Amino acid sequence: MTVSLDAVHQRIQLQKTVLPVMYGGVDFSATPERYTDDISVSSMAAYADKFPAPPADMVARVRAYTMLGDVTADAYAALMPKYGFKRLVSMLQTACDEGIGAPPDAPPELAALIAEMEVRPAWLDMDLVRKGAELNRLPMAVFAPWTIRGAFLATFMNKYTALPMALTGTLSNTTAAKRVNETATFFTVTTLPNALEPRGEGFKAAAMVRLMHSMVRFNVLRGMSKSWDKSVYGIPIPQVDQMPAGLIDVFLLAFKMVEQGRTEFTPEERARVEFSRYRCYLLGLPEDLLMDTPQGIIDIMNARSASIREGFDDATCGELVRATLAAYLPPDRSLGNRIHNSLERRVGRMVLVQSFLGGSVQAARDMGVEVGFLDYLVAGLVLPMIGVKMALYGAAAKVPGLRELADRRLVAKIHRLLRRYGHAEFTTNAEAYRPALPAGAAGQAG
């Protein structure tokens, strides 16, 4: 759906009118320091020569959405002083499980959030979404348990986008483990059959993630963190910051297609794309950021990367990386879990080096992450084994009869993984917020 830029700007300004408790002190005419239109100083600088400049309309759209929160979920989160964050969470969970009429004396803001999520966009084909969920079960069941920690590190490589995680206490090993497992839970549960339908577990998880992000925005913008400088960081967790996690899989798919000279998705690829687009839609991502062509996906993701000023602050980014790599993720200390955690942590280090540091071991060491021979050895053994297992499942999916059996096994494995990840709360409590260094107080690198 195409939305005019004028309409986007009106929606952004509306935040100030409908939620003055959060946005009354925000100057939406000012561009925060985090935004740049100079690719050479952006987070995309190292890759600029591999991609053409994003279209001007997309650049302008990303710039606008840098200042947009989530008006509907924000309005519900703004009720925290009246209801308390635990009751808001409880009412939302009940409404997702049993319907909007189930929570006694539910506020209209809750009904508005559920109603917005239940609106089906004109482009939606739920058969494709279900097929996409089925196709995504394999990587989430087999590949993700070994790589989710490493992939999570992508959110910490830039101080402008990482600060909300630091403020909410993720610098401790325990909290870091909780956030990694919650992230794994969200992306895993959404692949279950019918999970994204109303009353589905994925639908509820998306609602909870929206509320969690809005709680962060509410607490930060009302002054719970004195270190948040709106002229530097802008709006906490703006809509464009949902794009990397929500669309990275289809971005990589689209990039591979363009390299191959293809411009049209196969039926299976289209199903994967529609699944990811709809999941992002449920998370509140505006429809005009959800491109449906390979080049469109590449352009909008690059427009977002090129809009964020490069900046690695060791006191924020480095500490988040180290805490996440040091965290113990399994639910108990059994011998098998200790072995798995040790091996998976080494794979995570290699994901960091190869995916986010351009293969530079020295860059990892500069941020306090030691990478050695054992890390290469473990990754060299584990990743090929994962590849073989995925290939076997992929082959079974092409054989009538075996396909259904393989899918049932994957669904059962996903349920076991969800129990392993633990109950995801998807909440943030202002009392746990930590002071952060003022902008510029720590040295920068990269």
Three-state secondary-structure class, residue 114: helix
pLDDT at 429: 53
The average pLDDT across 298-326 equals 92
Q: Establish if 227 belongs to a structural domain.
A: yes
* Residue listed under structure tokens 């794309």: 273
Q: Establish if 66 belongs to a structural domain.
A: yes
Report how far residue 70's alpha carbon sits from residue 160's, in angstroms, rounded to the nearest whole number. 19
* Residue listed under structure tokens 């860059």: 363
Q: Are 97 and 203 in contact (CB under 8 A)?
A: no
Q: Establish if 386 belongs to a structural domain.
A: no
Give percent of the chain with pLDDT exceeding 90. 75
Give 73's contacts (C-beta < 8 A, 6+ positions apart).
113, 210, 211, 213, 214, 284
pLDDT at 440: 37
Report how far residue 188's alpha carbon sits from residue 186's, in angstroms, rounded to the nearest whole number. 5
**Which amino acid is present at 342?**
S
pLDDT at 3: 85
What is the number of domains present in the chain?
A: 1
Q: Establish if 2 belongs to a structural domain.
A: no
* Residue listed under structure tokens 């990754």: 379
pLDDT at 294: 96
pLDDT at 438: 35
Q: Is 90 exceeded by the pLDDT of residue 165?
A: no
The average pLDDT across 215-230 equals 85
Residue 420 DSSP code: H
Q: Establish if 344 belongs to a structural domain.
A: no
Q: Establish if 196 belongs to a structural domain.
A: yes
The average pLDDT across 194-220 equals 95
Q: Establish if 229 belongs to a structural domain.
A: yes
Q: pLDDT-based confidence at 444, cuts 50/70/90?
A: very low
Q: Summarize pLDDT for 226-244 with one digit per residue, the tens.
A: 778 999 999 999 989 989 8
* Residue listed under structure tokens 């985090």: 34
Among 50-54, 63-67, 326-330, whose mean pLDDT is lowest? Answer: 50-54
Residues 158/160/166/170 CA torsion (nearest 10 deg) = -50
Q: Are 62 and 242 in contact (CB under 8 A)?
A: no
Q: Summarize pLDDT for 94-105 with one digit per residue, the tens.
A: 999 999 888 888
Q: pLDDT-based confidence at 330, cuts 50/70/90?
A: very high
Radius of gyration of the chain (CA): 21
| Mean pLDDT of the chain, nearest integer | 90
pLDDT at 171: 64
Q: Give bridge partners of residue 309 from the DSSP assignment.
A: 42
Q: Summarize pLDDT for 373-400 with one digit per residue, the tens.
A: 999 999 999 999 999 999 999 999 999 9
Domain span at 173? 25-316
Q: pLDDT-based confidence at 207, cuts 50/70/90?
A: very high
Report how far residue 346's alpha carbon sits from residue 147's, in angstroms, rounded to the nearest whole number. 10
Q: pLDDT-based confidence at 437, cuts 50/70/90?
A: very low
- pTM exceeds 0.85 for this model: yes
Which of these, 116, 119, 25, 37, lies nearest to 73 by C-alpha position? 116
Q: Establish if 14 belongs to a structural domain.
A: no
Give 339's contacts (C-beta < 8 A, 6+ positions apart).
none
For 190-215, b/e burial (b = at least 16 CB within 10 A) is: bbbeebbeeebbbbbbbbbbbbbbbb
* Residue listed under structure tokens 């999970």: 195
